[in-house]
Amino acid sequence: MNTAVETFLEILELEDVEHNLYRGRNPASGWQRVFGGRVVAQALGAAMKTVSVGHHIHSMHGYFMRPGDPSVPILYEVDRIRDGRSFATRRVVAIQHGEAIFSMGASFHIPENGLDHQMEMPDVPQPEDLPSEEELKEKFLKHAPESVQRYWERKRPLELRPTDMRHYVSNEKLPPEQYVWIRATDTLPDDPNIHCCVLAYASDMTLLDTSLFAHGLSVFSDQIQPASIDHSVWFHRPFRADDWLLYATDSPSSSGARGFSRGRIYSRDGRLVASTAQEGLIRQKNQWF
C-alpha cells in the first residue's frame, strides 16, 4: 500500500482516552499548522465511534476557531446530543493546549427509500485524458511559484487532476469555478466510514482557492492571509474514495475579506455523492489592521 495512504489510515485510527474522548495524532509533515481537512476527518471519525451500527453520516457542519499545532496530538470530545429511531446527532470539539480549535455538529441517519433527483454532472475531460500528477509536475511546476511547487511535491494520500492548470501557473483572472478529479492513491478498506472520512478530508482541498480565481490570486499567494472559517459536507449517496471523484466548485461571492465557495462531488458514473460549502478568510495582507 502507498505509504501516504497507510499514514492517513493510521491518522484515522483514534485512540480511546475516556468515555466520549479520543486522541488523534499528527504525523510530521513540515506544515506550520494542521491541514483543516485532517481535523474535519478526525472529528468525523470521533463522532462515528459513538453511533450505533446502521446509522450513516448524512451531514456535518464545522467551524475553525484556531490554527492547529502539528507538533502535538488533538483531543476530540464528543457530546451525544440525541439518539433517535432514525437520526442521531453529535457535537464534537477538537482541543489543543486546553483550547478549542474546531467544533462540529454531525447528523447520522438510517437509510430510507424516497424521492430521488440530482443536478447533472458537468461535461469535463475524463481523468485518463488529463496529465497525471507526475506529468503535471514535470510540465507545469518548473514555471509555478515556489510555494505551489512545495505543495505539489509533498507525498499525499490523494491524487488531484485539475482540468485546467492556468490558475496554478499564472495571475490571470478567471471565472470563479474549478473542476478537479480526486481519488486515494491506493485501495482503501471497504468500510464506508473510512471512505466518508477520506472525502471529508478531500473536501477542504481546492474549495477556498476557488473564491480567488476571479482576482488572479491563489491560496499560495503571499498577498493574502487565507484560512478556512467554516465547512459543511452533505453526503447523498454511497461512493468509494479510491475511485475517481469529480470535485466541481464555484464561488458565488467574495466580500468583507471572506470568500464563499460551494462544491458538488460526483462519482465516475455521474451520481452526485456529496455537496459542500465553505466560507474562508481571504484577507489582503496590506489591509490587515
Catalytically active residues, by annotation = 204, 228, 278
Q: Could you tell me the end-to-end alpha-carbon distance of the chain, in angstroms, rounded to an integer?
A: 48
Alpha carbon distance 42, 217 (integer Å): 30
Alpha carbon distance 258, 8 (integer Å): 30
Residue whose grid cell is 507525498: 155
Per-residue burial over 211-222, b if 16 or more Cβ lie within 10 Å, else e, is bbbbbebbbbbe
Strand partners, 24: 74
Alpha carbon distance 118, 123 (integer Å): 15
Alpha carbon distance 3, 274 (integer Å): 27
Q: Which stretches of the chain are assigned E, i.e. beta strand?
A: 15-18, 21-24, 56-64, 74-83, 87-96, 99-109, 158-162, 177-184, 224-235, 245-255, 258-267, 272-284
Q: What is residue 68's three-state secondary structure? A: coil
Alpha carbon distance 198, 93 (integer Å): 19
Name residues whose C-beta falls within 8 Å of residue 271's C-beta, 6 or more positions apart in sequence. Answer: 118, 237, 239
Q: Are strands 224-235 and 56-64 parallel, antiparallel or unpaired?
A: antiparallel
